[in-house]
Amino acid sequence: MRTSSSLSLAVAAAALAVAGSAHAVPETLGLSARIVDGGTPVTGPQTIVVRIHDQASGGTPVWTESVTATAADGLVHLTLGATSPLTDAVIDGGPLWVELQVGSTVLAPRLAVTSAPYALRAGVAEDAERLAGQPATAFAAAAHGHAGTYLPVGAALACTGTAKVIGLDGATGSVVCGPDAVGPSYTAGLGLTMPTATSFAVNFGTSGTATAVARADHNHAGVYLPVGTTLACPAGQYATGLQPSGSVSCAAAPAADITDVTAGAGLTGGGSSGAVALAVAFGASGTATTVARSDHSHPATCPVGYTTHAAAGATSSLCSKRVAAPNITWNNAATACYANHNGGHLCSYNELRIAATVSPTQVLSVGFWMGDRVADDWVLRVNGSDANNFDEAIEIVATPVVTGGYYCCQRAQ
C-alpha cells in the first residue's frame, strides 16, 4: 500500500496563466507535490485524482479532476482545471483543502489551500462591467428618443363632451377619447325576471291571472281545509281527496298482500298473524346490544396472567409472564410455556429486555430460564437485574440445576 510521509503543495503565480482573452480570469492552477511510497520516491506515469474539499476531513468534494502525470524522483507537476474548470463558484473565498489519491491510495492529511489560488475569485469583478449580468448595450442611453406612437413630453391629453376615457392610437400616437366606464350589472334572482336590462318583475306561474303575490300565510276558499283538520274515514277505508264541498273522499282499503313474516339468517321472531317483531340473533358471548360491522377489528390483548408491554406507535404488544418453578430443566420450561401458559414460548433475551424496560416492567429474577440457545447444549438464563446486561450462558443437562423458574412470552392476539 502506498503511504505518504512527505507531501508538499506549492502554488506558483505563473501556473495560473492559461489561454483565453486578455482580461479573462484563468480557471486553472498549478500544483506540485512529492510522493513517496514507504520512504521511496515514486517514478514514472502516475494517475492522480485531485479533490478540493471545503472541510479538513470528511464531507463531499466541491471539485474533482483526474490527472495523469510523470513522476521524477517523486516530484509531479499538475495543472488543475484543464478538464473541470476551477470557477469562482469553487474558489468562493472560503477555506479549502486539497486531497490527492494516487491509484487506490488516498494521501492524508488534506492540505490547506493558501491564499494565492483565491485570485480566481477575481472573476467576480468581470461582472462589474454589467448590470444584473447584462451588458450596457441591453439598456437605453440617458438621452434617447421614441418613434411615432409616443407623445412628446408636455403634450396635452384632452377630451371633450361626455367622453371620460383617454387613450392613445397605437399607429399614430394621437389621443383617443371614449365613453365612461359601464356601471354595475344586475341579474334576476329566484322568483324574479328581468324584462329589460334595468327592470325586474315577479316570475309568476301559469296557473291563475292575478298580478299580486300571495303572502306566506294566505288562506284559500271553498275546498281547502283549515290547518289541523282531521281526515277521518270509516274503518277499512282511507282518504283519497276532498269533495268540492270540502268533505273528505274515502275509499275501501286494498286487501293486504303480506301473509307471513319469516326470520332469516341471523334473525329471530316473525309470524303469520297479528303484530310481529324481528330481532337479531346474538351469540352467547358478550352482552352488547349493537351489531358488529363486517370490517370491524378487535384490540389485541394478552392472555390472563401475562403482563402487557405496549410501546408507543407499535402495531402489537409484547406479553410476558414470570413463572416460579425451582430446579426445572430448560427443556421442561420450554414445554411448560406452550402447554401450560396459553401457547407461549420461552422469552428471548431481546424480548425479556423489552419487557424489563417498557412499562409496566417485568421483574428480572436471577436463575430464571430464557429461550436463547447460544451453542450446542448451551442456553441463556438471568444472572442479574440490570436490564441492559442480565444474561449468562449455561450448559443444559438432563438433571435439574439450581434455578428459580422461567419467563414465557407471546404477542398479543
**pLDDT tens-digit map of 259-285:** 788 878 888 888 887 788 888 888 888
pLDDT confidence of residue 108: 87
Return mean pLDDT, the chain: 81
Please identify, among 129, 163, 194, the residue that sits at the C-terminal boundary of a domain: 129
| Final residue belonging to a domain, choices 129, 161, 184 | 129
**What contacts 105, CB < 8 A, 6 or more positions away?**
1, 2, 3
Q: What's the grid cell of residue 181?
A: 366606464
- Residue among 15, 32, 25 at smallest CA distance from 90: 25
CATH classification at residue 93? 2.60.40
In a domain, 115, yes or no: yes
Q: Which residue has the higher pLDDT, 150 or 112?
A: 112
Give the pLDDT band of residue 15 (cuts 50, 70, 90): very low
- Could you tell me whether strands 318-324 and 307-309 are parallel, antiparallel, or unpaired per DSSP bridges? antiparallel
State in Å, rounded, how far the first CA of the chain is from the last one.
59
Per residue in 274-323, pLDDT (tens digit) is 788 888 888 888 888 888 888 776 777 899 999 999 877 777 899 999 99
DSSP line for 11-75: --GGGG--SS-TTPPP--EEEEEE-EETTEE--EEEEEEEEEESSSSSS--SEEEEEEEEEBTTE
Higher pLDDT, 64 or 238: 64
Q: SS3 of 264, please?
A: coil
Instruction: Record the cell numbers describing residue 358, joined without a space.
Output: 417498557
Check pLDDT > 90 for residue 364. Answer: yes
C-alpha cell at 108: 492524508
Does residue 354 fall inside a structural domain? yes
- Would 393 be classed as within a structural domain? yes
Kindly report the pTM of this predicted structure.
0.33
Domain termination residue (choose one: 114, 129, 144) = 129
Tell me which residue range forms the domain holding 101.
13-129
Cell of 186: 344586475
| Each residue's pLDDT tens digit, 78-108 | 999 988 898 888 888 789 999 999 988 998 8
Number of continuous H segments (helices) and E segments (strands) in the chain: 2, 25
- Check pLDDT > 70 for residue 388: yes
**Which amino acid, one-letter code, is at 392?**
E
Q: Would you say residue 247 lies in a domain? A: no
Report the C-alpha gap between 70 and 47 in whole angstroms. 9
- Residue 253 in domain: no
pLDDT for position 100: 92
In whole angstroms, how far apart are CA 103 and each of 23, 72, 206, 380, 384? 38, 17, 98, 50, 54
Could you tell me whether strands 368-375 and 405-411 are parallel, antiparallel, or unpaired per DSSP bridges? parallel
CATH of the domain at 374: 3.10.100
179 domain residue, yes or no: no
- Nine cell digits for residue 135: 451588458
- In-domain check, residue 281: no
Number of domains in the chain: 2
Task: Flag whether 318 is in a domain.
Answer: yes
The pLDDT of residue 350 is: 96
Between residues 9 and 293, the one the model is more confident about = 293
